[in-house]
Structure 1
Amino acid sequence: SELNGERGATLVMVTHDVKVARAASRVVHMLDGKILHEEARGEDGSFASAPGAGEGELPTVNR
């Protein structure tokens, strides 16, 4: 998130390791090429389901 906040850059990482994924500020769960759900890290550091990211739908991207 420092890279994104300081430089406006986004890094996309693909992993099956939950511990590695938890280091991200946003996690998108996929199955068979479809988005199952998305989680975003809150200000308190915990993850919660992101609104508008249902099965097969593209999540909202804020620029």
Structure 2
Amino acid sequence: MSKWLFFLVFFIFFFDQLFFFFLLLFLYILFFFKFLNLFLIYIFLIFILYIGGIVLFLFFFLSLV
């Protein structure tokens, strides 16, 4: 794996985790003020985790080709 691709995957993973932190914080605030119920929060988080996993898998797969 080349050096620039390693740093690209690292920064994508880092900002993905940072995005999850702020997303969880935002959703907890919304849940505290009763704007969303818990079921919608879980569905949304599962969807975001699924998309993030696909993106990370595609970057690792393209780095091997």
Q: Which is richer in strand?
A: 1
From the two aligned structures, give the one with the greater helix fraction.
Answer: 2
Fold in common (TM above 0.5): no
- Could you tell me the TM-score, scaled by structure 1's length? 0.23
Structure possessing the higher relative contact order (Cα contacts under 8 Å, 6 or more residues apart): 2
After TM superposition, the score normalised by the length of structure 2 is: 0.23
**Greater CA radius of gyration, 1 or 2?**
2
